Structure 1
Amino acid sequence: MNTQNYQNHRKFYPPHHFIYLPLLLALQIYGIYKSLQNDENQLVWILFSVVIFLLLYLSIMVRQHYALGLQNRLVRLEFKQRYFEMYGKRSDEIEAKLSFGQIAALRFAYDDEFNKLLNKALTENTSGDEIKKAIKNWKGDYHRI
């Protein structure tokens, strides 16, 4: 992976952003234009426009996937903040040793259990599910999408 800097920090998915969406938008406009003309193929063009609209709608719904990715980044950020508040130091080395499942599972533990479960995750490589099962006093997350 390249080192990130100002020139390369933006992330586009070229097939989606620069080919697929513009093509669908152009086809949608063309389909609506053709369906407004009174000829024997008007019903076909209406159906074409509906199908293109559905494809466009589904492609926009891919943004939900992006939202989940962002949510996972926030979970990591919460871990970093919590680790810093508890230990007064950066968590980069610790975070690198944990899977995302382990980090996400640790969110449900209150501070008194967090340290014990974190050490167990680091030494025994317990899974996120095992961490969740080991929590005695569950700290709910009621804001997750």
Structure 2
Amino acid sequence: MSEQNFKNHTRLSGGYHGLTFSLILILLVGAIRYWSRAATEDKYAPVLFVLTAVILIFLFFFIRIFALRAQDRAIRAEENLRHFFLTGKAFDRSLRLGQIIALRFASDEELPALAERAAREKLAPKDIKMAIRNWRADHHRV
């Protein structure tokens, strides 16, 4: 596995983000075309196909959002514990979840100072990631 850094740390799944979403969009477009060409008195089946495609689009996004929120909660707890082990105190309460998630990439040596700087300067998650010198890879994020 190649070394992880700011430029390559994001990850997309071709099967999920590419293929599945494309197939749902094809279903939606086909269902809309079927609906527009159906006889006026026979719209029940086309409407069901459109409704099914819309439901699948909502599921596609909500499934991803729910999984990421669960991971975000775990990351917040893990990183707060790591910070506590390194410094003897919890993260500054002014740190937002996005900042804490970005701090997970900082090495143990960098984490305390960078967490303090992030809270003091209200750094954006992208700025936190760019400030990391010794990247700590996270290959388990989905």
Work out whether the TM-score is over 0.5.
yes
Contact residue 87 and residue 112 of structure 2 kept, 8 A: no
Identity across matched positions, percent: 33
Match of 2:95 in 1: 98
1:1-145 superposed matches below 5 A: 41=41, 43-61=42-60, 62-89=62-89, 91=90, 94=92, 96-145=93-142
Q: In structure 2, how many angstroms separate the alpha carbons of the residues matched to 1:128 and 1:57?
A: 31
Whichever of the two has the greater Rg, that structure is 1
Q: Deviations over 1:30-80 (max 9, x none)?
A: xxxxxxxxxx95x52221221121122223222322222222212211222
Q: 1:46 to 1:85 in 2, by over 3 A?
A: same
Amino acid at match of 1:133: M
Per the alignment, do residues 51 and 140 of structure 1 end up closer, same or farther by CA in structure 2, a change over 3 Å counting? Answer: same
Q: Normalized per residue, which structure has more helix?
A: 1
Q: Give the drift of 1:110.
A: 0.7
Cα separation, partners in 2 of 1:49 and 1:103, compared to 1, 3 Å: same
Structure 1 unaligned blocks of 5 or more: 1-39
Give TM-score scaled by structure 1 length. Answer: 0.59
Distance in 2 between residues matched to 1:46 and 1:130, nearest whole Å: 51
Paired amino acid for 2:122 = N
Whole-Å Cα distance in 1 between the matches of residues 118 and 55 of structure 2?
Answer: 43
Partner of 1:34: none
State the structure with bigger RCO (CA 8 A, min sep 6), 1 or 2.
Answer: 2
Take 2:59 and 2:118, find their aligned partners in 1: how far apart are those partners?
Answer: 38
Unaligned ranges ≥5, structure 2: 1-39
Give the letter aligned to residue 101 of structure 1: G
Give the deviation of 1:112 after TM superposition.
0.7
Cα distance, 1:48–1:111 mapped onto 2, change above 3 Å = same
1:44 alignment partner AA: K
